[in-house]
Each structure stands twice: as C-alpha cells, then as structure tokens.
A and B are shown apart, each in its own frame.
Chain A
C-alpha cells in the first residue's frame, strides 16, 4: 500500500520536477514548422474548403448549422466575406511562423490555436489524424513555457538584461507525453478489437489502399511472412510507445523502433502531417543530456554529409 503522502510526493516529482527547456523549445520550432506547412498546404484549395462564394464545397451558413455546438469558431463573429475567410488563413500562417521562431510566443500560440480550431470547425469533413494531433498538442502548448530558449522572445529578453529561467517545470511536457502515449495506446486497443491486426494481415490491406500509396518499397508488401512481420511489429511498437516508453530501461529502444515505424509509414503511405508531428514529439521523451548530445552531434553529421556530398559533386 502507498501512503497519501508518498502519493503526493510521487505526483510532485512526476509533474513538478524541474528540467531543462531545450527539448520543449526544439519541439516548438519543429511543431511550428509543421503548423506553417499545414497552413501553406491549405492555400491551393482554400476556396473549396473554406471559401464563402460559389467555389466552397460546404457553404459557410450550412457548416455553421451542421456543427452548431458550443465551440470556438471565429467565423461566427466575422462578416461572411472572402476577405475575412482569407484573413483567417493568413493570420493562422503568420502566427504559426511566430510560434516557430518564438516571437510573442504565448499569445501567438493561443491565437494560432483559436484560428486552427475555427478552420477545423468550419470544415470538419476534411480532417485527418494529423489535424487532430496538431489540435491537441497545440492546446497543451498554450500552457507551456516554449519561449524560454531558441526564440526571438528569449533573445530580446536577454538583450534587455532579463534572461529567462531555462529550467522549467515538467508539467506541460508530461501532459504532452501522456497525450502522445494515449494516441498509441488507444489505437492499439482499437486494433486489437479487429481480426486483421491479430491474424497479421492488416498491412496487406492498408498497403493496397490506392489513395494512401506513396513510394514502392521492394519486397516488403509482396510476401505474406513480411506482411505478418510488419503488421505485428507495428502493433507491438504502438503498444510499447503507449506503455514501455515510460520504463527507463526500454525508453530509448522503444523510441528508436517508433522512429523507424513512422519513417517506414511516411515513405510508403501518405497520411498528411501525422507521422512528422509524432516524430517531432519524440524529443519530449529525451533526457536533457540526450538532447544536448543530439544538439552537438547532429550539426557535425550534417556538416560532414554536406562536405562529402559537395566533394563528390565537384
């Protein structure tokens, strides 16, 4: 049995222990970049998804009636004009850049969230898992001190002689980690309810869905035993990402396996920004010393690769 005092101590340690902000701030940069790309990807078909005039698939007044719940939607308060519809997207893209570079970070994150949710509520029928993940992560990011490092805010503050404290409470990182784990755990449980994941054939069917297909992977999807291996590996890795990742000894191997899983899916299938946001969120599971190691090693590796590539080229 655990005493209440010990429980509170554990709670305190889990949520309020202080840690270096590097991982969170690097995540902010990567996440901001994906928010930005997401905004840019909406420009081409903006009229179809969010337009006001004849080009819109779902007219604004209909969408407000379909989804008329008590929820954030700036379209309710704006005049129904093309200009205001465009302004929402432009403001979303602008604030996503602000999130990425860390300028007025907190308020930019809040505005970016409100605009993103409004656009998603404007047309709920085009949302994929990447949109859901970005919405949930951005919500938690509103409460996170993502501005204390690698940001314009931090630079300006330091210039004024008032540098931010870079050791932060683990609280928001923990909430993001929990959200992240829950995605994996939930999907594993749902998949275990079916037959195809259990009997090892699910990847056969997913790889034959033509709208998802991207690049030809030789062999992998053409042999039943490889299909079984891929199906069960995916299922086990997803389960591990939701559970074993919390155990110190398993954390790094599980993260590495998860990284391979997402890269494999990204190469072979097209599922929006889901895989990239998941990969970016992996950094939240790294210890400060591991983040530091990555920060030191990655630029060296990239520089070495670039040097080799340029010497080969010339």
Chain B
C-alpha cells in the first residue's frame, strides 16, 4: 500500500475515532465543541449519531401507552388507541411492535411536543371512517401508565398483568 494512501486511510480512521468519542462522551466545554465542529458536521451528514442508553442509567419503571379521544359537536366521543406491543401476538410484536413502542415513548415526552399536532390529526383521520357524518371539535391526547412496584416493598411476579392505569390528558388539539 502506498504511503499517501496509508496516510489518507489513517486520517479516516482517526476521524472515525474522534466521532465515536464525540458521540459517547459528554463535552459541554465551548473550546472542545469548537474543535469538534467539523466532526459534528461529518456525523450529522451521515447520521452517525448513536446513543446506547437503553435501560440506562436506570430502566423505566412505568408501562405506558397512548390514546386519543375525539369530541364531536353532537356531544359524542370516540377513542383511538395507538397499537401496543403488549397486546400483539409474537410475530406482530417481532415485526412491528417495537416501532409502536418506540413512537409511543417518543410522543409522550414533553420535549417532543412538536409531534403532538400531527399525532392528534392522525388519530382524527383514523376515527373518520366510523364518524364521517360528525363534526369533530377537539382531540385530547392521553397518556396511560402504571408504575412497576418497588422490588423490595412489593415484588410483582413476572408476567402478572396490571390492568389499572392512571390517565392524563397531555395535549388538546382544537379542530374548529
């Protein structure tokens, strides 16, 4: 291998090392951020950001799912439940259950409020077929959750189902 080619390839290795370090270590320092500017552009262009924080630093202690309640002008209501991996069979869970788990987890967080209007509109469209003659007034997005009991104080047997959920309306989309 020629020397020039080797130097070029070594540069590529170093760039990748730097980018791997960049995405894994917290670097709030302004000077370091400046130095890393070109690496950030490289990472952004190729979408090489990575985060390995699943179940870390601590696993979630809540089972969560979402629903959307639509209120119509005639006073009636209809509810759309977003698909839940926990209610799917094994094959469906493997094929697409994980995607619904992730998106529910993303939507429920306040930092992702930019997704809420689209989510509400989506639920509205899903319910349109059953309510085509009604005029919708608003859509309420609702989080449902139950806490996993503490291991020391109340050990829950594996696979026991807790069907009691708390609910909280976290967003209202005014249709009219």
- Contact of A250 with B by CB under 8 A: no
A183, A196, A204: the one within 8 Å of B52 (CB): A183
Instruction: Identify which of residues 217-245 in chain A touch chain B, using a CB-to-CB cut-off of 8 Å.
Output: 217, 220-222, 224, 227
Contact A132 B45 (CB under 8 A): no
B20, B148, B157: the one within 8 Å of A178 (CB): B20
- Contact of B41 with A by CB under 8 A: yes
Nearest-CB residue, chain B, relative to A274: B54
* B56 cross-chain contacts in A, Cβ below 8 A: 187, 190-191, 193-194, 197
**Complexed CA–CA distance, A261 and B17 (Å):** 27
**Complexed CA–CA distance, A211 and B48 (Å):** 27
Contact A57 B118 (CB under 8 A): yes
| Chain B interfacial residues counted at CB < 8 A | 61
Listed stretches B27-35, B82-90, B131-139, B168-176; interface member: B82-90
Contact A171 B13 (CB under 8 A): yes
List the count of A-B residue pairs having beta carbons below 8 Å apart.
170
| Chain A interfacial residues counted at CB < 8 A | 77
Instruction: Identify which of residues 82-132 in chain B touch chain A, using a CB-to-CB cut-off of 8 Å.
Output: 84-86, 90, 93-99, 101-103, 106-107, 112, 114-115, 118-119, 122, 125
Listed stretches A80-88, A120-128, A289-297; interface member: A120-128
Where chain B touches its partner, the secondary structure class is: helix
State how many angstroms separate the Cβ of A246 from the closest Cβ of chain B: 15
* B86 cross-chain contacts in A, Cβ below 8 A: 210-211, 213
State how many angstroms separate the Cβ of A274 from the closest Cβ of chain B: 8
* Interface residues of B, Cβ cutoff 8 Å to A: 1, 6, 9-10, 12-13, 16-17, 20, 24, 41, 44-48, 50-61, 63, 65, 84-86, 90, 93-99, 101-103, 106-107, 112, 114-115, 118-119, 122, 125, 148, 151, 155-159, 161
